[in-house]
Amino acid sequence: MILQCSHIDKGFQGDSLLKDISFHINDNEKTALVGINGSGKTTLLKILAGEYSPDNGEVIIPRDITVGYLAQNPIYDSDRSILEEMQEARKELIQLEHDMNTLSAEIDCAQGDHLEALVRQYDNMRRRFESMDGYAYQSELTGVLKGLGFCEEDFDKPVASLSGGEKTRVALGKMLLQSPQLILLDEPTNHLDTNAIHWLETYLSSYSGAALIVSHDRYFLDKIVTKVVELRQGHAATYQGNYSAFSQKKQAVLEAELKQYQNQQSQIRHQEEVITKLRSFNREKSIKRAESREKQLEKMERLEKPVEERTRMNLLFSPRIQSGNDVLRAEGLTKGFDSRILFQNVSFELKRGEHVAIIGDNGSGKTTLLKLITQLLPPDAGEIRLGVNVEIGYYDQAHQVLHEEKTIFQEIQDEHPHMTNTQVRNLLASFLFTEDDVFKQIRNLSGGERGRVSLAKLMLSDANLLILDEPTNHLDIDSKEILERAVRQFEGTILYVSHDRYFINRTASRILDLTRGQLVNYIGNYDYYLEKKADVEKAQFASSQEEGSAPSQSRTKMDWQQQKAEQAKQRKRENALKKVEEEIEQLETEVQELDTGLSDPANGTNVALLQELAGQKAEKEERLSQLMEQWEELSE
């Protein structure tokens, strides 16, 4: 065991935040710490890192264990360059290398006994250098920096000149190079692009130490962790497995806890009714019995209601009318700003019921593409045609469609004047805005609150084509899962941009990768995209080499058609496999019936019947043998 968190309590200004928190982390174990915003995740990490002291309880970490902590927005002041700052993580090794070089120069000039003593000293240093993997540290240092998104031209930049996100990446890289036996990470993916997140996933998965990770990136957690500690209502619960396993188990636990709570509440009400009745008799014995029951009630350990009313939104998208089958067609779209072309001659279609995700590097033009569709920007070339009865609802990640000067209440009522005050209040309550919250001005809202207002407006739009730009930004994990369910249940069409790979994996039926100014189509979710990406890029590279040009729209269409053909073949194989399995099952039943007939004493003297049954059995067993071979081929 590398860490033991035992009965931790912590509160601020009289309000209790953490209550009796206990869990442990074993050697090399990767653990996620999850919970809604404000549940105390960062506070608990700071307690484990020694920055805060608990009000009660203790954190037990063996003395020989080194701990690394990456805060969410670390304060990082340094007058060194990026490379020099990273080298600080290996200063002992670098000093040893310097001493070896100095000693090597002395050996060149030494003689006799002094030479032998120097050689022995050098050998000891060399063995220690090798045991610390000294010959690989330069490549490891460069690999970490490049993995986190820095190129070699950045290495000499002063740390003081970097942005907050870049400083966080330097802090993360330095901590990883120090190789502590326990690392505490608070939202490590916040300032990383997709490639850097992939690199960090691979690095942490093979990391020899233990890790406790706070992150809203559920796909990231799924790839790394084998245990989840959830903070809910001040308490901690531990679940074995990755995030997806936790999500399923948590729902079952919540249902069980709710049932226990309801049963106890029913029991309490029953006891209170009995006590009231006993007291109404107004007799000595009945009053004593009532007092006895009251004492029992006082001693009862009251269960807390497992689900807080203000932690879960109610979200349901329902189109007012159904669109035609052809929802949207974009042809030859080109857009650029100043002298930079974002994309050129881009074409794609949307069919009714499709849920399509647009992915790509930062700055590739994803949000711009959505703004062309919603007519917030004009294309430089090309056109967009909407199908019959298409009504668009748009979710803007910058929430520019909200009016800064209005209150939340006005934002809803002004666009939907037919709604009564009570209806507006009820709607906003379902998005966690209650009482005086509804009179907050939009300009004073947090990112998460703005997101909830935008989602409320989107739900009221009754649109059948939803255009969403980073809809999960600023949402806590519970709210993301509620949005996922609403998206999956939506019967209309959705086109969205997102960096949330878990969200994409759960909701997308098709992915458009905006890369090198073109859209590459993948008919599947995010896992399918990862599986096929290398093959598609390899085929495109080979094709571009042959033609001496960038991948064209026709090749993108061909890739799409090839994927559709491959999927059709796969479905055909799966159907054939299913039919073979059904026939095998049927034949095995028939052979069993024939065996019963052959062994029936009543048929013992009927030679003709026995011969017929034996012949049928031989035919069916021959067919079974053929089917088994066919099944093996299809299974492969």
**Tens digit of pLDDT for each residue in 338-377?**
888 899 899 999 999 999 999 988 778 899 999 999 999 9
pLDDT for the residue numbered 273: 87
Map tokens 């009313």 to a residue.
Answer: 309
Least confident of 116-125, 293-302, 364-373, 563-572: 563-572
Tens of pLDDT along 104-148? 888 888 778 888 888 888 888 888 888 877 787 888 888 999 998
pLDDT score for 86:
87
The pTM (predicted TM-score) of the whole model is: 0.66
Which of 104-108, 280-284, 597-601 is most confident?
104-108
The pLDDT, as a whole number, for residue 550 is 47
Report how far apart, in Å, the C-alpha atoms of 591 and of each of 7, 453, 622 are. Answer: 64, 65, 11
| Amino acid at site 558 | M
Q: Could you read off the pLDDT of 14-48 as tens digits, one per residue?
A: 888 999 999 999 999 999 999 887 789 999 999 99
More confident residue, 63 or 550: 63
pLDDT number for residue 541? 59
Give residue 328's pLDDT band: very low, low, confident or very high (50, 70, 90).
very high
- pLDDT at residue 309 is higher than 50: no
Most confidently modeled range among 374-378, 448-452, 598-602, 611-615: 374-378
CA angle 88, 93, 95 (to 5 degrees): 80
**What does each C-alpha distance from 343 to 195, 515, 553 come to in angstroms?**
21, 9, 11
User: Where are the alpha helices (H) located in 339-489, listed in sequence order?
Assistant: 366-373, 408-413, 421-430, 447-460, 477-489
DSSP 393: E
Distances (CA, A) of 543 to 438, 513, 514, 546, 559: 57, 18, 18, 5, 11
Partners of 350 in the β-ladder: 328
391: Cβ contacts below 8 Å, ≥ 6 apart: 319, 320, 321, 323, 461, 462, 463, 464, 465
Question: Does position 404 have pLDDT exceeding 90, yes or no?
Answer: no
Give 352 or 432, the one with higher predicted confidence.
Answer: 352
50 exposed, middle or buried (CB, 10 Å; 0-12, 13-18, 19+)?
A: exposed
38-52, 410-424, 517-531, 621-635: the lowest-pLDDT one: 621-635
Q: Is the pLDDT of residue 59 over 50?
A: yes
The pLDDT value recorded for residue 3 is 93
Please give the Cα distance from 538 to 491 (Å, whole number). Answer: 36
Query: What average pLDDT is seen over the chain?
Result: 85
pLDDT band at residue 209 using 50, 70 and 90 as cut-offs: very high
Gap between the Cα atoms of 375 and 383, Å rounded = 11
Q: What pLDDT sits at residue 60?
A: 94
- Structure token digits, residue 508: 């997308």
Residue (of 462, 457, 508, 416) closest to 322 by Cα position: 462
The two structure tokens encoding residue 420: 């009564």
Residue 311 banded pLDDT, cuts 50, 70, 90: low
CA distances from 177 to 40, 49, 87, 306, 493 (A): 28, 18, 9, 42, 46
| Residue 325 in this model has a pLDDT that exceeds 70 | yes
Report DSSP state, residue 230.
Answer: E
What is the pLDDT averaged over residues 213-229? 92
- Residue 226: is its pLDDT beyond 90? yes
* pLDDT score of 236 more than 70: yes
Once rounded to an integer, what is the mean pLDDT over residues 2-23?
A: 91
CA angle 316, 321, 324 (to 5 degrees): 120
Cross-strand bridge partners of residue 34: 230
Q: Is the pLDDT of residue 312 over 70?
A: no
Strand, coil or helix: what is 106? helix
pLDDT at 242: 93
Identify the pLDDT of residue 544. Answer: 55
Q: What is the pLDDT of residue 587?
A: 83
Three-state SS for 422-441 is HHHHHHHHHCCCCHHHHHCE
